[in-house]
Amino acid sequence: MKKFATLFTIAAAATVLVSCGDNGASKKLTVGFSQIGAESDWRKASTTSIQEEAAKRDINLIFSDAQQKQENQIKAIDSFIAQGVDVISFSPVVSSGFEDILKKAKAAGIPVILFDRTVDVSEDGLYQCYIGSDFVEEGRRAANWIVENVGEEAGIAELVGTVGSAPATDRAKGFREVLEKHPGLKIVKSQSGDFTRSQGKEVMEQFLKSPEKDQIKVLFAHNDDMALGAIQAIEEAGKKPGKDIIIISIDGVKEMFKAILAGKANCTVECNPMIGGQLFDIAQKMMNKEEFPARVPSQEGVFDSKSITQEVVDGRKY
């Protein structure tokens, strides 16, 4: 029993304390995190996961909200470097344009963990780990659900995420990869709704007034928030979402589960935002100079009316 208690104490201490200073005292792990903003329920859940895990582990978290702007993310990372944090992490709003600031972090010797989204860089070693989903696979899963549940013939409208972001690029790629093998499934409209509910609604309104409106049998939205906005637009146009237009999106937030249970939407491919714990596990390993994986994938499922019950909705945390 005593042995277990001792082991636990050592393990618990190792989760929050980093290397000793000159006087032998341990210091708290400091992580600088730049979040994109609060564009979706998914993003809000991601922020909660990061902040709750940091508090639980007594980690000094310097959290910065970029309000959807890349320039704010670059400024935040620059300030994390100036403050000499132990680890930098961020969810990049778009994939390109981070190379110079990542080179600066590397020159300062501060390790970087990409969280949720990846970046495009031309040299290795500018970040040490990526924790998050396989967005290409999410796009494939959405398309496969359509093939299995709608059939081989349908016009599809696509609500794209933030232009230039990894999830928008990769979900579109995975979706088209599957569709190429099913020529009767055609994308008849495609436009960005920037991952927000308000823009999802606006763009869907335009789709429903376009010359292609009668061809739209399926809506594929790159996230649940845009799909939830589109549901409103479809209802306001006098149509039945989930029936007149089949709706599939990505994320798996509680509001979408409710829409599926109510028959107003049909499927959501899960993208897991609750990965704050994995972030600090890796940050801690970096500080302890332990081995860590370069890629930490998220575990995710696909939900539709066959799997969503009231109990599932009630149990959903975000």
Residue among 80 and 195 whose Cβ is closer to ligand AHR? 195
State which of residues 30, 32, 35, 39 lies at the interface with ligand AHR (CB under 6 A): 39
Instruction: Spell out, one character per residue from 104 to 143, where the chain touches ligand AHR: x when CB under 6 A holds, - when not.
Output: ------------xx--------------------------
Q: Does 246 help bind ligand AHR (rule: CB under 6 A)?
A: no
Count the site residues for ligand AHR by CB under 6 A.
13
If one asks whether residue 251 binds ligand AHR (CB under 6 A), the answer comes out as yes
6 CB-near residues (< 8 Å, 6+ apart): none
Q: Which position among 271, 283, 287, 308 is part of the footprint of ligand AHR (CB under 6 A)?
A: 271
**Quick one: 89 or 223, whose CB is closer to ligand AHR?**
223
Piece in contact with ligand AHR (CB under 6 A), picked from 36-44, 150-158, 259-267, 309-317: 36-44
Instruction: Rule CB under 6 A: choose which of 33, 90, 175, 195 binds ligand AHR.
Output: 195
- When asked if residue 229 is in the footprint of ligand AHR (CB under 6 A), the reply is no
Q: What is the spatial distance between Cα 118 and Cα 302, in angstroms, rounded to a whole number?
A: 22
Provide, rounded to whole angstroms, the least separation between the CB of residue 195 and ligand AHR.
4
Would you state the torsion angle of the CA atoms of residues 200, 173, 50, 53, taken in this order, to the nearest 10 degrees? 130
Tell me which residue has tokens 């999410």.
138
The residue whose two tokens read 């696509």 is 158
Backbone φ, ψ for residue 164 (5° rounding):
90, 0
- Choose between 42 and 127: whose C-beta lies nearer to ligand AHR: 42
Q: Are 186 and 207 in contact (CB under 8 A)?
A: no
Residue with tokens 């998220």: 298
Between 114 and 208, whose beta carbon lies closer to ligand AHR? 114
Under the binding rule (CB under 6 A), the answer on residue 257 touching ligand AHR is no
- Contact with ligand AHR (CB under 6 A): which of 92, 111, 139, 167? 167
Are 161 and 309 in contact by the 8 Å Cβ rule? The answer is no
From the CB of 161, what's the least distance to ligand AHR, in Å? 7
Which of 18, 31, 33, 43 touches ligand AHR (CB under 6 A)?
A: 43
Site for ligand AHR contains 170 (CB under 6 A): no
**Closer CB to ligand AHR, residue 43 or residue 141?**
43
Q: Does 86 bind ligand AHR (CB under 6 A)?
A: no
Q: How far, in Å, are 122, 214, 233, 259 from residue 228 at the CA level?
A: 37, 21, 9, 8
Strands 302-304 and 267-270: antiparallel
Q: Is 73 in the site for ligand AHR (CB under 6 A)?
A: no
Decide: is 92 part of the binding site for ligand AHR (CB under 6 A).
Answer: no
Q: Contact positions toward ligand AHR, by CB under 6 A?
A: 39-40, 42-43, 116-117, 167, 195, 223, 225, 250-251, 271
